[in-house]
Structure 1
Amino acid sequence: MCRWRAWWKGLPALAVLVALAVTFARAPVEQDLTERAETLLSVIGESWAHARFEGRNALLEGEALSEEARIKVRYELARLSGVRIVEDRTTLLPERRPFTFAAIRDGSKLHLEGYVPSSYARRRIAEAAAAMAPGIVVTGEKELVRARGVPAGDFIGVVTFGIQQLAKMPAGRITISDDAFSIEGRAPDFASYDALEVTVRSELPGDFDLARFAVLPPIVSPFIWSAAREKDGDVTLSGYIPLGDARRALLDMVRGAVPGAAISDRLRLADGAPPTEGWLKAVAFALGQLGRLPNGTVSLSGTTIAIEGTAPDFAAYDALAGARRNVPEGYTLTRFAVEPPRVDPFVWGVQRSANGLRLTGYAPSEEAKRLVLDAVRGDFPGVPVSDEMRIAMGGPAAEAWVAATSFGVSQLSRLRQGAVRGTGTTLSIAGEALDAAAFMTVRMALEESPPRGFTLRSDVRPPVVSPYVFSLRKDGDGLTLSGFFPSPSEHERLVEAARTQFFGARLNDVSAIAQGAPQGFTAAVMTAMRQLSRLESGEARFDDNQLKVTGTVLYPEAVTSVRANLAAGLPSGFTLDVALDVAPPPAPVDATACQSLINHLLDKGTITFSATDATIETSSFGLLDRIAAAAASCPDALIEISIRQPDTEAAVAAARAQALVQYLAAAGIAPDRLITGEQPSLAVQTPTGTNGPAAGVQLIVR
């Protein structure tokens, strides 16, 4: 007979058996799925990912190089037999642009830094670095950062290639930035230099471009170069040539100096030369003289030029003697003293135009002229220079002439077009400045450091800009002035008005001086500034004679008032575009907090009136709008207005108090909240305004 009333007593034992079955059956399933998942991820080339299982649910983890890789792994793992759900907890490696890598060798030390695409790449690169040279100490391999953004191509291969090139130098550096490869250092000898240049330029792995080959050849001293013109007219070049494209330029110079001559080039690339630009100028000078010598030799040793040979005629001799006046900067030649003719008046000039510079008139000596030419080339690199100066006597002392003319050339470099002219000991500088900063620099130089011994005359004007823009932007950081102003005095006036009307707010002045302002510009800006001070935030922007005002007013009634005041205050010829929003109403506060807000405003600004009546000055509208906004935050309180005018009749003081009542009422404050008091009960402001006598205004919240 069944004992159905006691069957439940076997349930605990049954539950234990079920739990044991699940536990011992789950572990083999998870292990099997884990092993098969790792094999799958390796086969599909995504070994960065790892899967662990809770039952048949996969938890996917790892850092992917791309979103496509994450999608691929999720898809393949979901297809794996036995997997129920795939939970993706993978993340993307950060992308780096540019993707950079560098290896720096210093003797037996090699330092690695930058990004690698994977742990595998890091390991391979570290192995290549360790194998670079016996006893090499490698640092930085553990700090290489895995990241996305690796350029296309064999990244590991190009790094290994670069490390192999570093092995040929005692010190150097390779840099990879995206697909650009650079190498720098110094070869220990000419053979190593030749091998490095050939290898890097011809065997760099594909998909990578050689951005910079800055391996220096050995240093030689002295740096010798010579050109000899043989009896048959051929030219033999011997010695060394500096890095870069100097050889091509040099050969072109030889062909130009000695047309049709066969050239025997025995030059060797080497380091230790003077600056290439100056060296090529010296070579050009020397070759120019060689062209006048059928049998001659010109040579450079460091910065010394030597010319040897026999001139074929007097014309050639005169030309050779005259060429000594144009020895390149930084180089010396045998002294040649020729006394020039005397002139009266002694005049000279440097004119700058769109076509370049023109030097005219006279210079007191060859050396003085050379120094001025050097100054011109230094201040006007790459600008065409027409040198028409002649050497003459009768002028200022050479040292003073050079100082004055160089001073003028320095100022001329800051002018768009202009001229420096001298007559005796009078120096004149005239023209239009490149920009506002240049104008201020020239103005300061003319005032603080005029050339000694010269009378200075100046007609330097600010730049002309069009369109003529100016902006006042008010925000939480203060007031920003940008654009242009016509003169320093008007700028000072605007800045002073801004400090007054914006209650000492932080002023960020990035404006600059320029010509081209429309008529009435300053008056228009003052009008815009007064109304901008009434906005919570906003901008007043001038574009020639067009004014656009945008921003947020503190209360709805201010929209019409601001627009009307702008229209009435702008000078004739200005157009107006106004787009204003209204700020949300302030949060309610109690009377004490309201009084604190109003006191704070009166501490920062001053309410001023016309000197003779109760008219409120427009410069006070910004302060009154903020007082109105503060009063709106305590709608149940009364506002008592008190005026103290020690030197003003009581009737005028009362009228001024009523004027404030009317202004606040027009700003949305209920008239029955506004009362006037005869005597103030708190400390009264008594600032001295520029538009009237001392005045004190007190507002008491009751």
Structure 2
Amino acid sequence: MPHPFARGLRRTGWLAGLPALALIWASATLYAGPRIAERLEAEGAAVAAGTATDTGEPWLRLAVEGRDLVAAGEAPDASARAATLFRLAVLDGPRRIVSGVGLVETAAPFQWAAIRLGPDRVALEGSRPVEIGRRALEARVTGMLGPGTSLDDAARAARGAPPDFPSAAAFLAARLSGLAAGGRAALSDTVLSLSGEALDVPAYEALRAALSEPPAGFSIGRVEILPPRVAQYRFTVEKATGGIALDGFIPSTADREAARRAAQEVAQETPGAAVDDRLVTARGLDPAIDSKTLIGFMFRLAALIQTGRVTFTDGAVSVSGDAMDAQAIPDAEALMRDARPAGVSAGRVTLTARPLSPYRVAIRRTPEAVTLTGHVPDAATRDRVLDALRPRLFREPILDRTRLADGAPPNLGAALAAAAPLVVSLAAGEASVSDRTLTLTGESLYREVAARAPDRLAEALPQGWTGKATVSARQPAERRDPATCRADFAAATTGADLRFPVGSAAPGPTFYPTLDALAALAKACPTLRIAVSGPADPAKAAPTPAAGPGEGTPPAAPPEAEPTRVASAAKTEAPGKADAKADPKPAGQHDAKAHDAKAHDGKAHDTASEAKPDGKGSGTDAIKEAAKRGKPSPKPSPKPSPSPKPSPKKPEATADEPPQDLPRLRAQAVVEYLLQAGARPDQVSAGPDTPAGPVTFALLP
């Protein structure tokens, strides 16, 4: 070997063989590597095919990484997993087996989710039903996502899936197509949830509509979908003769409801006006501006125009159109100057004052207040209407929201003053004026008032005015056929045991349920005729003389029924009263007993008033009068003395002796209660007196 060459070879050493080694490695990588990978894939596919389940798909999934085999999937049991891994290990060629094979378990709760990673890429995670093949489920999901979407499926087979899982997965995948990157559609047992940002306005509206109809057997849980962001945020309130139109964008559903409520309040001032909601939920409002404050400000401006538009765009509010009246123009300018929300700029105020057509004003009665709205020509007309209302209202406040404007019809003040008493007599209603037409609507507590309203309105209106009254009764009359009335009467009186306390003509609290039922029946049955019979007190047993020495004959026993009634009545009296009847009391103690009787009558009076269903008095004056006449007190002498002496011609009257007409007084007390409770005078009358016992009722032909 020449000397220079040998010296160079010694200098380079083993580095001279690197190019040859690199050539050998490149040949092995480019030629032998793919052949090895193909052979491993073929051999692994044969093993995977042997793991096919009832779905027709193998549970084993294999991937080749160089000379390594990566196994994944969920084996039905541990023995199947061990057998499959052994078959892979004995293959000729793999350097190692990387196992990620798990076991099929029961998932509780069963959760599955689809997450959008990009425009054409979606990841699946959680659990999928073991009864459904992976490829079959992926095909169902991809079909709802759109062609060209790739799936990163990391879901594991598990048991415990809800019924009809594929339908729920397809529903969620379809909703996911309307969300931007980061959107998530998830299932937890039978509850579906969505979160993310909508792609655009149509997608947001489609999502809202679709969520109202979930698949059968599933419900909608947490929904956190952000509206899309728009470049130019605008909001418009347009007021026309037919109503109010809302257009543009709104930040949230809550703001949309607030705008609708405000529009309905303004629309109520115009008969027949409606609200047309064309709002779309979207973001883009400056965070420095409070959305609800902006909505309220714009509707304050809208209340000052007859027709026109209030618009928010490019951060400024402007108003244009026909002003409500001449006063509305400076009012709108003052609002724009002094009441603008923070962050909002002042736009143009372009309003024109025109004569009102039609000229409107209204008196509205509610349970809380009486409100005047609309226009009046001058302060004198306003004062005339207020003077007609004030004497007829005791608790309800009067809210005057009228404005001054020209163009009122003649005799407007007289028409409103005539309508004021009619409105106040209603439970709720309104008298509205449109030019020279006055319309009275509402409901009354009484049918008679409702029936007379048209005639009273026609008589009260000035000449040249027309009126229309539509007043209904709050509780229309009920009518029953005679057979039903008789059956209901028998049901109401059967088992009723209405007994007066001894010596009293005041009904007790136990009377009122039965009497109220009979009064209601009388109102529903105009042909019903009821006779009420009052009972007498039980007869007292004759006093037994004291037995003398050697006298052992017992006294005759009283009738069986009488002691029972007396004992029953005695239970209702105060303790010690039975002893008072057995032993005569001095005259000074009779006043205390009469005082107790008065207190008992007052209690019955209060109970009767509370039991009255329509809030009126319940005949308590007549009941108290009857009770006073039925009190067991001695007849007063013209000149009372501290110790009255008994008359020699008459036997001495005891304090417990009831008046002779006590049955009649008791019947009259019941009749008076029924009349005050709503029965007509020709429907209830007093019947013949009855012996001791309960009050009896009878139907008259």
Range of TM-score over shorter length: 0.3 to 0.5
Larger radius of gyration: 2
Normalised by the length of structure 1, the TM-score is 0.40
Q: Which has the higher contact order (CA 8 A, sep 6+)?
A: 2
